[in-house]
Chain A
């Protein structure tokens, strides 16, 4: 027998309406509910104050339910390995299927300049599995990874980035990273591990997955021949004599945000860059640092002993307006380095008097809130032109993350500007004339110029957040959009780009910073992630969370994505990246800046 329990609400059925009534938006944020309380519906008394979707959005997702328990188990296992335990009770099943590491073959893939890299792998893929007990499993891991208990600098941990149900069990993929020692030498190990977990019975409240299978067909192990770090940070030695070091650069944006009023634009995200150049013609390169609103940009002059002296105020370049990027380049061909700074107020251009003192010559307020300025003679007329990128379309409120629309192919970013040098510090906007106004609405973060087609002019690559990147081929000072044809769109979160001939075939290759997100990888792969999404879009999302990209230039105008996602592709939330031959072996290496916002609350969004 059906009882019409909604009968008394026929006029206003469903409290969702009431809760949503007053808002201009469909959501039911707190502010709207006070009105619903006075609404006519008798059911409105049922309307629990509800922040829409502030709870977990997709409760049944495997990732949401099992990600944390698996991470906890991986921690238990790591600790058991490190502590020299004979078991990891409650985390490892009584019998574990594991790749037979005793059959591993070692092949040396690099051995130069004090660094040795070995690939240790099964003779065939995926290799044979053996069944071991927990004690054997832990011991084999310790031996393989050169870990000894009691060594404080030894460490092993796992980063989970894939998770899915596999019938009654759970399968996960994680990256293993270990730091051990062999014969007094540091040994680092990296591997991708596919694990399977036995699941607790349904009525087992608080039951946790048990490691049942551990497949690790390959480990990359690197070793440093000499003790001690090959790099060290000597900023304090070089900058230490300056008040700007002890009173300004020693504090991060978490601290400064409590001491600078918001309207001074201190950009909490810390998008503050660096330029290296010789400002006083003494042959030594000097340092310009961009700083948040309310703190002066800093120019440090290098002394003969390599230390730095703060000359910001005397040089007239101590701008307090929030600044992102700067250039020290000769804009009037008189032999000294002039200064261009992208600030939240304007794009500022200053002339160097030859001794390192600067005079304001041009300020383009229409190009405020620019990013990553670059200089190039794109039209080959003998002087330098300037490119300024724009990120958020509205200039971007301080500290705020923008709302890209749509997320995977955002078209509401800012317009980049190419400035042609007219001489005497005059610059003309030639964005449209030069052909750079194609899809000029992306969230552009970084540019990299290079002659990728070896025709003696500079082509342009632009890294864009939330969508495709762009490659513009320079055809006689006209830019032609070659993004799709060249295969360099690299759909993702473009943050930075750098050119280098990494394989020394005479054609410049491309490395792009993007984002590897373990959360994103787990969630986007779930079938219930936005179920109505077209398959084509889902593929783009999956590419977006993969990480950084290495694109090999075939030399014929086309590029191939040759990224190994677990090696050079594996960074986190990546920013600046540069090709540089860091060990002088003749091959270009890479260093990548990484990480978005670290705060005392480590619970990550």
Chain B
């Protein structure tokens, strides 16, 4: 229900710009992310078949007739494949098998006529596409068909035109209106026959009668048991990206970086003592230590014992013992949880799938530090050796290895804008909480700052801001704005940094500029309302926030802000509504519960206040005021001992809290 509940209702109304409802695009991105992380989206739906009830409606018969597959089906092409006089269908699927041939085993006594038209190639195209065929039965009933090529979603059906004959028997008349004007009429067509009719021939020619090839009369004999998976392990990386810098520790707990290994090819392997395939893999590598040296490739085995990894179990042996047992005497170290998160981002960028890292997994990195191959299972020495050799192969050889099955490229997929590709890679690290790695990757992507696009300056600015590099961030935002003065997100980004420094006079024109581009720009409105408040203009602040909420009724933070503002204006009833809405929309905002509790206390609703404030505390609120108000509300309800506990908590957080001290002494509560 995520799609309908969270994404669709955020859509802007007609005529609004995307910046008016930023939650919409963001939630679409969330949707994509959830799909890439393995969620189904209208999955496992069955294909329906609708039987025509003689022109009076349809009835669903797919289950009855055995065609209600729950594949993710896509295209349907209709053809009498086995030439037995009834229509079969080729259906493509997203899921396996990617194509089905649905053979019609029609026990019907009814017959059919099939016709293939051939245009003269002058006034009419050879395929006779656009020709209208009218078949008349002896009863006078008519059927019409038109020759078409390509219809509906990604499908071209048979060039033969098929008429089912129902109760009709005997002979039939056919009229052909050829595209371009001429019309021909034939009589005496026979049931059960196939006719090829060239334009201008006066007779329909000799019919062929329907008969299925014997092979196609047999039941489908081939084993349909689900296949295990293609004989492939991960993929070769056609468009290489830098391997993230991983910081791991050695057995003395000294930190190292994967960058130390640059200069020659490197295999980074992730393994665990509890993983049996890992041990076989490490033995294999250990056995080939001399070969590896000869090929000039280094190996780094990073142990993931004790980290949160899927499939992890307790193990009785130490990593060192295991390596000894496996005969592995090459470099090894201990991975950190953060390494795994970065690897998952790398795999997401390379495959558009966000998968938990499977153990074992390995990465072949070239001498420059770029990922050349990804192995999502144990890699054999043979495979590794071949891939190391391929590092020095021709571009053609490498592209062949990247394409899992043979064929030819019309456009080499490596003909991309590499700077953009690498910058997007850097951005993914930025948006997943690795600003330092992102900055490193941006520097690789675009060594010359002058080449950056406004969007890239913006992305870098965001990454810098996340690292607390405010000055750098401001310079980068300014650069983005210099290149694109209409760049609304950069304007509000820079404005927000000014706002943080309380430089309201610098911030205001930036937000106003953003508003001049989009009068409903949500971020600009929210931030301007804050400046309004700072300068005492609460009415203006209120007006701006109301505008945001009218466009974004599902925007939790806007409700929070307006609730806070209304509370400060002593409009408690409406404040409570918005704060409650904020808490409902995003139950994780502790402050919404805190604010709501404060307002409820003001309204004298102390039992409700106790609930809200307790929620805030459960969500991690460590503001002494939360505990003080909780204590006061508990006192109002006569819950003295609970109140004492709350005041004590407040004093623990702030031993000098005057309100808590006073409340304790005024009510004769014990400080222990």
| Residues on B with beta carbons closer than 8 Å to the beta carbon of A513 | 152-153
Residue contact B349 to A250, C-beta cutoff 8 Å: no
B565 CB-CB contact with A under 8 Å: yes
Stretch at the interface among B26-34, B315-323, B336-344, B387-395: B26-34
CA distance A506 to B133 in the complex (A): 11
Residue contact B215 to A305, C-beta cutoff 8 Å: yes
Stretch at the interface among A82-90, A128-136, A400-408, A479-487: A400-408
| Residues on B with beta carbons closer than 8 Å to the beta carbon of A463 | 152-153
* Interchain residue pairs with CB less than 8 A apart (10): A21-B500, A57-B5, A112-B110, A232-B220, A252-B72, A255-B96, A297-B407, A382-B121, A406-B14, A598-B70
Residue of A nearest to B212 (CB): A306
CA distance A12 to B565 in the complex (A): 11
Residue of B nearest to A244 (CB): B405
Residue contact A222 to B61, C-beta cutoff 8 Å: yes
Stretch at the interface among A72-80, A98-106, A432-440, A577-585: A577-585
Out of A22, A49, A263, A450, name the residue touching B588 (CB < 8 Å).
A49
Residue contact A348 to B407, C-beta cutoff 8 Å: no
Residue contact B40 to A598, C-beta cutoff 8 Å: yes
Stretch at the interface among A139-147, A166-174, A197-205, A318-326: A318-326
B313 CB-CB contact with A under 8 Å: no
- Which of B4, B162, B533 is packed against the most chain A CB atoms within 10 Å? B4
CA distance A409 to B246 in the complex (A): 46
Residue contact B153 to A117, C-beta cutoff 8 Å: no
A587 CB-CB contact with B under 8 Å: yes
Contact with B along A24-66 (1 / 0, CB 8 A): 1111111110110011100101111111111111111101100
What's the minimum C-beta distance from B646 to chain A, rounded to whole angstroms?
16
| Residues on A with beta carbons closer than 8 Å to the beta carbon of B543 | none
Nearest 6 CB-CB pairings of A with B: A273-B154, A24-B489, A270-B94, A229-B66, A296-B407, A586-B166
Residues of A472-531 contacting chain B, CB below 8 A:
495-499, 501-504, 506, 508, 513, 515, 517, 519-520, 522-524, 529-531
* Size band of the interface chain A makes with B: 35 or more
Q: If A13-B533, A517-B42, A598-B95 touch, does A325 touch B150 (CB 8 Å cutoff)?
A: yes
What's the minimum C-beta distance from A475 to chain B, rounded to whole angstroms?
15
| Residues on A with beta carbons closer than 8 Å to the beta carbon of B35 | 268, 399, 401, 597, 599, 605
Residues of B117-161 contacting chain A, CB below 8 A:
119, 121-127, 129-130, 132, 141-144, 146, 148-160
Residues of B8-64 contacting chain A, CB below 8 A:
8-14, 16, 18-19, 22-28, 30-32, 34-36, 38-64
Besides the known contacts A61-B5, A258-B353, A278-B159, 12 further A-B residue pairs in the complex with CB atoms under 8 A apart: A16-B557, A20-B557, A113-B108, A251-B229, A264-B403, A377-B130, A564-B58, A593-B75, A593-B153, A599-B43, A602-B43, A605-B31
A237 CB-CB contact with B under 8 Å: yes
B99 CB-CB contact with A under 8 Å: yes
Residue contact B60 to A330, C-beta cutoff 8 Å: no
Contact with B along A263-298 (1 / 0, CB 8 A): 111001111111111100000010101100111110
- Which of A186, A377, A447, A568 is packed against the most chain B CB atoms within 10 Å? A377
Residue contact A237 to B222, C-beta cutoff 8 Å: yes
B362 CB-CB contact with A under 8 Å: no
Residue contact A263 to B421, C-beta cutoff 8 Å: yes
| Residues on A with beta carbons closer than 8 Å to the beta carbon of B99 | 235, 239, 249, 274, 289
How many B residues face the partner with a CB closer than 8 A?
249
Residue contact A576 to B75, C-beta cutoff 8 Å: yes
What's the minimum C-beta distance from A463 to chain B, rounded to whole angstroms?
8
B444 CB-CB contact with A under 8 Å: no
| Residues on B with beta carbons closer than 8 Å to the beta carbon of A586 | 110, 141, 143, 163-168
Stretch at the interface among B83-91, B259-267, B279-287: B83-91
Residues of A455-477 contacting chain B, CB below 8 A:
456-458, 463
Residue contact A26 to B526, C-beta cutoff 8 Å: yes
B530 CB-CB contact with A under 8 Å: yes
Residue contact B132 to A23, C-beta cutoff 8 Å: no
Residues of B208-254 contacting chain A, CB below 8 A:
212-216, 218-224, 227, 229-232, 234-239
Stretch at the interface among B302-310, B619-627, B634-642: B619-627
Q: If A313-B407, A597-B35 touch, does A519 touch B227 (CB 8 Å cutoff)?
A: no
CA distance A570 to B218 in the complex (A): 34
Residue contact A270 to B74, C-beta cutoff 8 Å: yes
CA distance A590 to B462 in the complex (A): 53
CA distance A384 to B126 in the complex (A): 9
| Residues on B with beta carbons closer than 8 Å to the beta carbon of A6 | 564, 567-568
| Residues on A with beta carbons closer than 8 Å to the beta carbon of B564 | 6, 9, 13-14, 16
Residue contact A601 to B407, C-beta cutoff 8 Å: no
| Residues on A with beta carbons closer than 8 Å to the beta carbon of B69 | 233
Residue contact B230 to A501, C-beta cutoff 8 Å: no
| Residues on B with beta carbons closer than 8 Å to the beta carbon of A587 | 52-55, 164, 166
A329 CB-CB contact with B under 8 Å: yes
Contact with B along A371-386 (1 / 0, CB 8 A): 1111111001011100
Out of A57, A236, A534, name the residue touching B585 (CB < 8 Å).
A57
Residue contact A53 to B23, C-beta cutoff 8 Å: yes
A588 CB-CB contact with B under 8 Å: yes
Residue of B nearest to A178 (CB): B63
A314 CB-CB contact with B under 8 Å: no
| Residues on A with beta carbons closer than 8 Å to the beta carbon of B414 | 263
Residue contact A320 to B103, C-beta cutoff 8 Å: no
CA distance A414 to B501 in the complex (A): 44
Out of A21, A26, A295, A584, name the residue touching B22 (CB < 8 Å).
A26
Residue contact B13 to A534, C-beta cutoff 8 Å: yes
A91 CB-CB contact with B under 8 Å: no
Out of B150, B350, B493, B598, name the residue touching A262 (CB < 8 Å).
B350
| Residues on B with beta carbons closer than 8 Å to the beta carbon of A335 | 121, 126
| Residues on B with beta carbons closer than 8 Å to the beta carbon of A47 | 589-591
Out of A110, A224, A248, A402, name the residue touching B53 (CB < 8 Å).
A110
B442 CB-CB contact with A under 8 Å: no
A152 CB-CB contact with B under 8 Å: no
Residue contact A261 to B9, C-beta cutoff 8 Å: no
Stretch at the interface among B445-453, B548-556, B664-672: B548-556
Out of A186, A234, A264, A408, name the residue touching B402 (CB < 8 Å).
A264
Residue contact A287 to B90, C-beta cutoff 8 Å: yes
Out of A236, A508, A568, name the residue touching B144 (CB < 8 Å).
A508
| Residues on B with beta carbons closer than 8 Å to the beta carbon of A124 | none
Residue contact A40 to B502, C-beta cutoff 8 Å: yes
A176 CB-CB contact with B under 8 Å: no
| Residues on A with beta carbons closer than 8 Å to the beta carbon of B150 | 275, 325, 327, 329, 372-375, 447
CA distance A77 to B557 in the complex (A): 42
CA distance A284 to B523 in the complex (A): 63
Residues of A555-585 contacting chain B, CB below 8 A:
564, 567-568, 570-573, 575-578, 580-585
| Residues on B with beta carbons closer than 8 Å to the beta carbon of A49 | 588
Residue contact B40 to A603, C-beta cutoff 8 Å: yes
Stretch at the interface among B175-183, B270-278, B288-296, B327-335: B175-183
B106 CB-CB contact with A under 8 Å: yes
Residue of A nearest to B594 (CB): A46
Out of A264, A402, A604, name the residue touching B413 (CB < 8 Å).
A264
Residue of A nearest to B621 (CB): A46
What's the minimum C-beta distance from B496 to chain A, rounded to whole angstroms?
4
Q: If A56-B5, A374-B150 touch, does A250 touch B97 (CB 8 Å cutoff)?
A: yes
Residue contact A578 to B76, C-beta cutoff 8 Å: yes
CA distance A443 to B2 in the complex (A): 22
Residue contact B533 to A117, C-beta cutoff 8 Å: no
| Residues on A with beta carbons closer than 8 Å to the beta carbon of B146 | 450-451, 458, 499, 508
Out of A251, A319, A591, name the residue touching B407 (CB < 8 Å).
A319
| Residues on B with beta carbons closer than 8 Å to the beta carbon of A533 | 13
What's the minimum C-beta distance from B373 to chain A, rounded to whole angstroms?
10
CA distance A21 to B238 in the complex (A): 39
Residue of A nearest to B431 (CB): A31
What's the minimum C-beta distance from A41 to chain B, rounded to whole angstroms?
9
| Residues on B with beta carbons closer than 8 Å to the beta carbon of A534 | 13
A398 CB-CB contact with B under 8 Å: yes
